[in-house]
């Protein structure tokens, strides 16, 4: 069997030859790559020379590319283009990789070399990046059990293996429940209020499933507009309850026991390493350095947002009762009523905006914005493999020279998890440029219309592209400090700051054009878009804070007291919710961000980074949103630097001061 994963790719830019990779290639390639890397580490350890930065840290940082590359391909495909066979491979690979990491992190002789360098080297003789690498590696070993005795190390290995497998299983359960459900509607009367493009999509979905009528799914491009526009309250309830039941049904995909097990194992792991909680372990390496600091941050925003949210909710209640005779408001009413209220208050139906946001033009406009800001150019290369026919590959150039590969994957399909994310197939490091991917779930083109984005989808695209820029503009020596390898509560700054351009007239003029007439988005619509940024900010902030509180509760000091996921969740969310609880629903059982996606004890970072991005964008507003000097400073001090220095150091170098928390409140209209 010729396995392309055994060696470096001989393709242009070492791009991935997806068409040549088979599911059965992964495990043999991973095993061989792991064996080679462990042998390389043995060579580092066996050196007779006194440990130095160059013969230990530098060598360690530059071995093991095949393992990370092959694992990255596998788990990226498992998220974006999975199958039952690939899921089985991922389950087999997870403990292998967990054991491999432990073989490195629990290698006492390797740690002794690093410890010697850490304790005897004059750190002032190191560059800022070398200093950060040394600090990061030393702490990483300590935080992964290097100071434990042999029995404790074996316990840690077992815990990490279990957690890796449970995390994968959690995601598989959510995906299975998502794809198992479909709402088939036969009576056109039940479809009142739904936009034409959604009806076309639902008709096509029904045909694909061999059904009559219209079929709606729990994928976001189907679910969100249905909940927003469907006048049939009973069907809204049906779909809402189905969505909320993912991972919480009496079937093999139930995640409640899994959550309790994950929480207990994380607490046990933290205790083994000397921390009172998993949150304490995580937050030691964050800008917010403790559970208390995060809770204070969330509480401060809660105190500012709750009075506004309460007023917004009361306005919703009065409007719903007067206009639709709806009382009390239920969970499945909120998106529908909020949209109608927005139309009434702003005289704006967001469906009227969609024709001005065809996917291709929005992407082209985004490319133009990025070119103006950072000098990047994007050239489609159809000769390079994508992992699915929906995937487009771009060569990214700067000053005429190759700078990165960008993979875009925008539409939902079976085997692709919901949501939107940025990832990478290859990290940047000295003399090597990155391969970056952005994955979304936007509405497909229909027989009569191209893919048209909602304004929220436009901001989602800009958000993920901000992450992509962090990867593409990375310019560091070591891959472990490159791009998005930063403190977790700093990683959302590049993504969230990009959303700001969606609200600026100069930027909208580059891409907001009618798909049929090419007419520019009318000025009155632009003014209303700006007002959208303030619409129900209290309620939206409360929703995000609820996720933050819930996340912290599962990973904080009291996590071991949780014995019923549903009851615990209700207690945590009670103060941020105005609708009654739905007994058959549970948010936690599909909360993939914290149980699968790496945001455990870190969900607060979305709001934390909003403070940073609101403050940072005020500098663009002062100097001009396309001001080259401001963009250059942001690239130089933030985007290109990755995690080579402490994030606050980088931020202050760009902004000239620490972030002002009131900038977010000003932007949100909460002060």
Structure tokens at 249: 């049904």
- CATH 1.10.1370.40 domain extents, the chain: 355-533
Burial 326-357 (b: 16+ CB within 10 A, else e): beebebbbbbbbbbbbbeeebebebbebbbbb
Residues 589 and 246 sit within 8 Å (Cβ to Cβ): yes
- 238 CB burial (10 A radius; 0-12, 13-18, 19+): middle
| Bridge partner list, 598 | none
Chain position carrying tokens 């149980």: 595
Which residues of the chain fall short of a pLDDT of 50? none
Domain at 355-533, CATH from 1.10.10.10, 1.10.1370.40, 1.10.760.10, 3.10.20.30: 1.10.1370.40
| Under 8 Å between Cβ of 395 and 405 | yes
314 pairs with which residues across the strands? none
| 501 phi, psi to nearest 5 deg | -65, -20
CATH code, 4-147: 1.20.1050.40
**Model's pTM, two decimal places?**
0.86
**pLDDT at residue 88, rounded to an integer:** 97
Instruction: Give the whole-angstrom CA distance, residue 466 versus residue 618.
Output: 17
The two three-digit tokens of residue 429, written as one number: 């490091």
pLDDT of residue 170: 97
Strand intervals (E) in 186-300 = 214-216
464 is known as an active-site residue: yes
**Over the stretch 551-610, which tens digit does the pLDDT of each residue have?**
999 999 999 899 999 999 999 999 999 999 999 999 999 999 999 988 999 999 999 999
The CATH 1.20.1050.40 domain(s) of the chain lie at 4-147
CA distance 250 to 172: 16
C-alpha pair distances (Å), 65 with each of 7, 16, 106, 276: 10, 14, 20, 35
DSSP string, 620-636: HHHH-TT-HHHHHHHII
Q: What angle do CA 134, 135, 138 make, to 5 degrees?
A: 80
Residue 1 is predicted with a pLDDT of 59
Q: Which of 200, 291, 395, 464 is catalytic?
A: 464
């Amino acid at each position: 069997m010729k396995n392309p994963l055994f060696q470096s790719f001989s393709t242009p830019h070492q791009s991935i030859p997806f068409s040549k990779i088979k599911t059965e290639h992964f495990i043999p390639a991973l095993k061989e790559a792991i064996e080679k890397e462990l042998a390389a580490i043995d060579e580092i350890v066996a050196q007779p020379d006194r440990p130095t930065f160059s013969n230990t840290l530098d060598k360690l940082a530059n071995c093991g590319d095949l393992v990370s590359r092959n694992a990255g391909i596998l788990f990226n495909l498992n998220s974006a283009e999975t199958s039952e066979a690939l899921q089985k491979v991922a389950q087999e690979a997870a403990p292998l990789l967990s054991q491999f990491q432990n073989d490195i992190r629990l290698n006492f002789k390797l740690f002794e070399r690093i410890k010697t360098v850490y304790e005897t080297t004059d750190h002032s003789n190191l560059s800022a990046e070398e200093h950060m690498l040394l600090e990061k590696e030393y702490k990483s070993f300590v935080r992964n059990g290097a100071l434990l005795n042999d029995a404790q190390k074996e316990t840690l290995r077992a815990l990490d293996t279990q957690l890796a497998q449970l995390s994968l299983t959690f995601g598989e359960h959510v995906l299975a429940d998502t794809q198992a459900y479909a709402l088939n509607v036969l009576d056109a009367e039940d479809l009142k209020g739904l936009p034409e493009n959604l009806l076309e999509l639902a008709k096509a979905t029904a045909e694909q499933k061999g059904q009559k009528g219209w079929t709606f799914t729990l994928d976001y491009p189907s679910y969100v507009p249905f909940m927003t526009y469907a006048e049939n309250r009973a069907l809204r309830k049906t779909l809402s309850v189905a969505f909320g039941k993912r991972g919480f049904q009496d079937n093999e995909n139930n995640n409640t026991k899994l959550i309790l097990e994950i929480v207990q194992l994380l607490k046990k792991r933290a205790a083994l390493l000397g921390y009172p909680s998993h949150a304490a372990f995580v937050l030691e390496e964050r800008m917010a350095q403790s559970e208390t600091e995060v809770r204070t941050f969330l509480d401060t925003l809660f105190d500012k947002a709750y009075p506004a949210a309460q007023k917004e909710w009361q306005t919703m209640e009065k409007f719903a009762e007067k206009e639709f005779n709806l009382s009390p408001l239920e969970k499945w009413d909120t998106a529908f009523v909020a949209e109608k209220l927005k139309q009434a208050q702003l005289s704006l139906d967001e469906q009227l905006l969609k024709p001005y946001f065809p996917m291709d033009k929005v992407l082209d406009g985004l490319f133009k914005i990025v070119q103006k800001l950072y000098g990047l150019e994007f050239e489609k290369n159809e000769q390079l493999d994508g992992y699915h026919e929906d995937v487009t590959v771009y060569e990214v150039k700067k000053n005429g020279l190759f700078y990165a590969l960008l993979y875009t994957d925008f539409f939902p399909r079976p085997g692709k998890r919901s949501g939107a994310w940025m990832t990478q197939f290859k990290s940047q490091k000295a003399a090597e440029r990155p391969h970056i991917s952005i994955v979304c779930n936007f509405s497909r083109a229909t027989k009569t219309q191209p893919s048209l984005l909602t304004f929220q989808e436009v901001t989602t695209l800009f958000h993920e592209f901000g992450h992509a820029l962090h990867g593409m503009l990375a310019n560091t020596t070591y891959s472990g400090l490159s791009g998005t390898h930063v403190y977790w509560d700093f990683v959302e700054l590049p993504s969230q700051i990009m959303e700001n351009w969606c609200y600026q007239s100069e930027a909208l003029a580059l891409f907001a054009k009618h798909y049929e007439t090419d007419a520019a988005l009318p000025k009155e619509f632009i003014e209303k878009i700006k007002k959208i940024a303030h619409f129900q900010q209290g309620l939206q902030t409360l929703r995000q804070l609820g996720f933050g509180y819930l996340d912290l509760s599962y990973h904080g000091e009291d996590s071991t007291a949780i014995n019923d996921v549903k009851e615990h969740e209700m207690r945590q969310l009670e103060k941020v919710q105005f609708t009654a609880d739905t007994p058959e629903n549970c948010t936690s059982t599909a909360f993939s961000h914290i149980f699968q996606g790496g945001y455990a004890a870190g969900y607060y970072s979305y709001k934390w980074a909003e403070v940073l991005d609101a403050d940072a964008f005020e500098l663009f507003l002062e100097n001009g949103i396309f001001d080259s000097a401001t963009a250059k400073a942001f690239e130089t001090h933030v985007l290109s630097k990755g995690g080579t220095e402490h994030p606050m150091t980088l931020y202050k170098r760009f902004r000239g001061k620490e972030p002002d928390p009131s900038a977010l409140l000003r932007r949100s209209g909460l002060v």
